[in-house]
Amino acid sequence: MEKILLIDDDEDILIELEELLVQLGFACLCAGNAREALAQLDQHADIQLIISDLRMPDQSGLRLLQILAERNDGKYSVPVIITSGHADMDDVITLFRNGAVDFLPKPIHYEHLVSLLQKLFPSHQMG
């Protein structure tokens, strides 16, 4: 079963995303900030996707992308989707330049997320 790490400081968003992804047949881990997320990554080497909020209290989603690249010698081993309700075009461009595979504005349109998951996991049977 594909494992997805969800990172957001808004617990309601984490719960909503986790419920959707579990219904689609994914296993989920949740973190409320980048520090917790990095600990989850250290404990679970089988995480296959990260969905992270851009703006969090401890470190941004952009900084998380940079840390992941540093840990992997510049290679992006785990795809990262960034979400935000407050990003502008410069933020989005910077995210892509730092390895994000996609950007989802909040509120997240779940049809778009499902379509993206189908591209990332073509052999996965959704729900």
Question: What pTM did the predictor assign?
Answer: 0.95
Q: Is 69 left (phi over 0), alpha (psi -120 to 50) or beta?
A: alpha
Q: What is the pLDDT of residues 56-113, one digit of tens each?
A: 988 999 999 999 988 887 555 799 999 999 999 999 999 999 999 999 999 999 999 9
Q: What pLDDT is attached to residue 84?
A: 96
Q: What pLDDT is attached to residue 109?
A: 92
Q: Specify whether the CB–CB gap between 4 and 29 falls below 8 A.
A: yes
